[in-house]
Amino acid sequence: MNATDQKRLEQNVRRTVGVRALKEIRGIVDDDLREEAARKKWLAILLRYGWIVLLLAAGMLARYMGVI
């Protein structure tokens, strides 16, 4: 193997390692985005129905304290 082939081989190895690293980084980013979307979904549900839970808790507290 001459020097040109050696350089080409090293360049191909570096390129392959770089592509592999980018794929791993993309997987990590995709996982983070998926987790963030799930958190946003639960936050939207909490904001949508949280006031009902708050009213129920206030009613139960008022009942416990004898106001109702």
Output the average pLDDT for the chain: 93
Residue 65: predicted pLDDT: 94
Distance separating alpha carbons of residues 8 and 16, to the nearest angstrom: 12
Domain boundaries, the chain: 1-68
3-state SS class at 66: coil
The 10s digit of each residue's pLDDT in 15-35 is 999 999 999 999 999 999 999
- 7 secondary structure, DSSP code: H
- Please tell me the distance from the alpha carbon of residue 26 to that of residue 8, in angstroms, as a whole number: 27
Kindly give, in sequence order, each residue whose CB lies less than 8 Å from that of residue 6, ignoring residues fewer than 6 positions away. none
Q: What pLDDT band is residue 68 in, cutting at 50, 70 and 90?
A: confident
Rounded Cα distance, 21 and 10, in Å: 16
